[in-house]
Structures are given as structure tokens and as C-alpha cells.
Amino acid sequence: MVPFAGWDMPVEYSGLSNEHLAVRTRAGLFDVTHMGQVEIAGKDALAALQWMTSNDASRLTIGQAQYSGLMTPAGTFVDDLLVYRFAEEHFLLVVNASNVDKDYAWIVEHIRQFGDVTALDTSSRYALLALQGPVASHVMQQLTNFDLSGMKYYWFAHGEVAGVRATLSRTGYTGEDGFEVFVPPRQAPAVWNAILETGKNDGVIPAGLGARDTLRLEAAMRLYGSDIDAETTALEAGLEWIVGWKKENFIGRDALLRQKESGVTRRLVGFEMTEGAIARHGYPVMIDGRKAGVVTSGTQTPFLKKAIGMAYVPATHTAEGTGVDVEIRGRLRRARVVPLPFYTRPKG
């Protein structure tokens, strides 16, 4: 167990690599109850959300979710989040555990100018379990009357899971097919046990924070506080796809537009070490012997069995195959730029 944003989190259960491989080949069950929830409701909920978040929430149908950013006026991240459209005028935001208080204060401050809208920090009302992996839908289908074959990626529905009232969402942070289940905290242990019991024959095992990090890195999903933060913009982070250029004004739009027109000077890229060493968060990226960037995430991943990572590098050095050095314990080690994501799940 390690302390994480005020929670005691299991880093691993049976071993990080074992859990990582289970998620890639079978399925793993994560307790991600630490994630925060903020609900926005009222006649002006959509207008407020459109102003505060980068992606275009008006494109969400009820029952659909999207990845988005809570942006500063500089186009950098207050947080990254998922926006769920619960009803026409009711949205659920799922935010990072370490940012709940900051996000809630930010949201309250910025919805002032809107009339009929409220914001509630409902984090303590939800436990969140994530079943991720190729057998996830087969296992989950045995526990629910939802027709999961009709539920597309980034859609959700309300119903029962293991006899408990739940919101079931086809989302995740591993690069695999899978589900996130919102349940009342008191009933979470029963649902957790039911999923493990039902999935036992299919090889479902509990998975911890360690595997969650290596899995999301292979899938190149950004981690707030490492790959993105209040110093990095959506464009630098390669997340222009969550910038709703077509919608009306939103916080950070002007800055992002200026940056788009002038061009970014640095960008988040994927890299692979080409000589034996592992790059980690915070290690300097060196070009021609000078510090030119920084590694934001890096590890040796259990599935790809390579030392990979993401780093901010100058825009001149982002082309696939470009060689850069990473300074590891005082020594320069060769790496080359590779396309993101490192891992894409097989289709079908």
C-alpha cells in the first residue's frame, strides 16, 4: 500500500508484471475509487461546461462520455477529465484524485457568470471499479442485464451490476476494451468480489496502481502531474483532438489559437531507448550535449518488454526516428522518437 492523493492504494497484488499481462491477455480488476466526481446540473449546465472545458460537450448524446480538459486561460491544464452526459442538463465529471479540491474550486469560480447551474463534489458518493481486458465484456455480461454488445466505447448506461444499482461505462485507462462501474461505496466490496468470482475461470485478477501506470503508458494515455500540467498546453501535449475549435469561446481558446498559428516550440513525443537503460520521469533529454527537454513518463513495460517513455522535445526533433539522448545517472543514453501509442489493442 502507498499513500496516493489521500488514499491508501495498492501498488500491486500478485506482481505488477503479472497484473499488466493479465490485462493485456485476459482481464484485470482495478479499484479506482480514488478518482473524483463533480456533477454539474441546471438549465445552464451545458453552457457552463462549454466555457470551462476544451472539448465540445454539445456533441454528447445522453449516455455518452468524452475525454476533455479543464483549461487555464493560457491553454494549459487545470486537469484532464471525462465528461459524462447523464441528462440534457446534468453532467458527471470524473477528475483526478489529486485535483478534486482544486478542480471544484475552479469550477465554482467559473460558473458564477452562468445563471442556473450548480456544481457538487460527489466524490464520496461513488466507488469506481474498472474491469479491463479482452475478456472484460464476457465476464461483465454474466453480471448484468445490459446488452453489452450494443454498448460502444465511451458510452454508458444505468442499471444493475451484480444486483447493485450501478452506472456502467465502456471506458478505461489501459488501452484495452473494458468497463468502469460506478457503485455506492458501501456496496463496492460485494461488486468487487462478484466480478472476481465470476471472472475466475477466465483468469481475471486484481490489478493495482503500478500496472495501471504501465498499461496507460503503453497506450500513451496522458497522466496529469507527469505528462500534462498547468505548464503544458493541449497542443504541446498532442491533445488537439480534445480542443473544440468549432464551438464558441472557452477558457484558453485564445491562447491555444495563438499557439496553433505561431506553431508549438515543443511537443510530447514517444521514445524508445536504443541502448540498455530505462528512462524515468524527470530525466533530462539532451540534444547536442545540451538539455533540450524532459522525460515525463518512462519505464520498461512488461508487455512490449522495451524501455519506452514520453518526453517533451523541441518541435524540430519530433519526427519519427529522430535520435535524442536521455541523461541517466550522469550518462547519456541513446533513444529514438517513435509514434504514439506504443500499443494498440488488436481489433475484433
Q: Which is nearer to another protein, 90 or 280 (CB)?
A: 280
Residue 4 or 67: which CB sits closer to another protein? 4
What is the per-residue DSSP string for 151-204?
PPTTBEEEEEETTEEEEEES--SSSSSEEEEEE-GGGHHHHHHHHHHHHGGGT-
CB of 244 to another protein, least distance (A): 37
Which CB atom, from 57 or from 221, has the smaller least distance to another protein? Answer: 221
Beta carbon nearer to another protein, 196 or 278: 278
Contact 337, 321 (CB under 8 A): yes
Can you give the binding site for another protein, defined by CB under 8 A? 11-12, 15-17, 20, 210, 214, 276-278, 280, 299-302, 307, 329
Residue 64 is given by DSSP the state B
Cβ nearer to another protein, comparing 12 with 39 = 12
Residues 6+ apart with CB under 8 A from 346: none
Dihedral sign (CA 14, 20, 26, 28)? positive
Supply the DSSP symbol for 302. T
Cβ contact 73:252 at 8 Å: yes
Measured from the CB atom, the residue of 179 and 283 that comes closer to another protein is 283
Biggest distance spanned by C-alpha atoms of the chain: 61
Least distance from C-beta 143 to another protein, angstroms? Answer: 31
H or E element: which one contains 21?
A: helix 16-25
Q: Which three cell numbers stand for residue 110?
A: 467559473
Handedness of CA 151, 155, 158, 160 (dihedral sign): positive
Nearest to 222 by CA among 281, 182, 168: 281
Q: How far is the CB of 2 from another protein (least distance, A)?
A: 10
Given the DSSP bridges, would you call strands 28-31 and 205-206 parallel, antiparallel or unpaired?
A: parallel
Question: How many beta carbons lie within 10 A of that of residue 46, not counting itself?
Answer: 20
- Of 10 and 42, CB closest to another protein: 10
Instruction: Give the nearest distance from C-beta 218 to another protein in angstroms.
Output: 12
DSSP state of 11: S
Residue with Cβ nearer another protein (12 or 89):
12
CA angle 282, 213, 156 (to 5 degrees): 135
